Amino acid sequence: MTDAFLQGRTALVTGSTSGIGLAIAKTLAAAGARVAINGLGAAEQIANARAEVDAAGNGATRHFDADLRNPDAIETMMQDLAQWSNGGVDILVNNAGIQHAVPLHEMPVAKWNDIIAINLSSAFHTMRLAMPAMAQRGYGRVINIASVHGLVASKDKAPYVASKFGIVGMSKVAALEYAAQGSRDSGSITVNCICPGWVETPLIEPQIDARRNGGSRDDGVRSLLSEKQPSLRMTLPEEIAALAVFLCRREAHNMTGSAIPVDGGWTAQ
């Protein structure tokens, strides 16, 4: 679906200077939206991300460097966005996330606090600040990138799993609160989670290499996924982005409160 059905809409994608977030930002831009990206990175990485989103769409991409651990910084970003977008964003994608994997009793308190703040609390703040204006316009989309770990747990990931279960629950509450706002014609307001399993990003290449045992990269992928993901195939960031953009269509007005697994059968077991 490459039609510019989002022409005139404004989107914010957090954690979008690379990976899944960047893929979503580019696909939203290609569908006609004006996109604001948010995320950390070197100046060159941020400039490259803006250029990629510009090239996918009509240009005018903005970058916001708000520290998502800081509610005041988030509020300032959302106020600036309201001015830039003439009233507030139409599409909010909470994608930013971090992880630190150690047993619960070894988890540094500072890491717990950062993971909960970035993965969960930041979405609360963006949602509470963006959704009332969505309701006034009769159209809004909140897409929270959760994880398969918002549906099932794994060892050594206590704050990550807690944050992802939390964002799934919070999304369901918001979906219920806004379900009757808007109409079929306006598109209504929906809140959904996408819950990816293994996604092919540069961050996991070392794990693939460690599983090759002298074989091919595909051998490494199959070995890595064999414990959890029955398809033995990873999802591409662009495939997550395509689902996110579908959820923005008017026809998706009754898809709300869902936690959609894209996990190759992981949670079907």
Q: What is the pLDDT of residues 189-209, one digit of tens each?
A: 999 999 999 999 888 899 999
In the chain, where does DSSP find H-type helix? 19-30, 43-56, 71-84, 109-116, 122-137, 158-178, 205-210, 217-225, 237-247
* Mean model confidence pLDDT for the chain: 96
Q: Which of 160, 165, 178, 198 is catalytic?
A: 160
pLDDT tens digits, one per residue of 120-154:
999 999 999 999 999 999 999 999 999 999 999 99
Distances in whole angstroms, Cα of residue 92 to Cα of each of 79, 145, 200, 203: 14, 11, 23, 24
* Nearest CA-CA partner of 196 in 243, 153, 235, 159: 235
Identify the sign of the CA torsion 34, 37, 43, 47: negative
Contact 175, 257 (CB under 8 A): yes
Catalytic residue at 160? yes
What number is the average pLDDT over the span 159-183? 98
Asked if residue 159 has pLDDT above 80, the reply is yes
Q: Top-level CATH class of 10-199+236-262?
A: alpha beta
CA distance readout (Å), 259 to 5, 85, 126, 179, 262:
24, 28, 19, 16, 10
Band of pLDDT at residue 1, cut at 50, 70 and 90: very low
Question: How far apart are alpha carbons 181 and 188 in whole angstroms?
Answer: 6
pLDDT mean over 160-187: 98
pLDDT tens by residue, 94-121: 999 999 999 999 999 999 999 999 999 9
Q: How large is the average pLDDT for residues 32-56?
A: 96
Instruction: Give the separation between CA 81 and CA 73, rounded to whole angstroms.
Output: 12
Largest CA distance in the chain: 58
pLDDT for residue 176? 98
Per domain, the residue ranges of the chain are: 10-199+236-262, 202-234
Band of residue 2 on the pLDDT scale cut at 50, 70, 90: low
pLDDT in tens, 218-240: 999 999 999 999 999 999 999 99
Query: Could you count the other beta carbons within 10 Å of the beta carbon of residue 84?
Result: 17
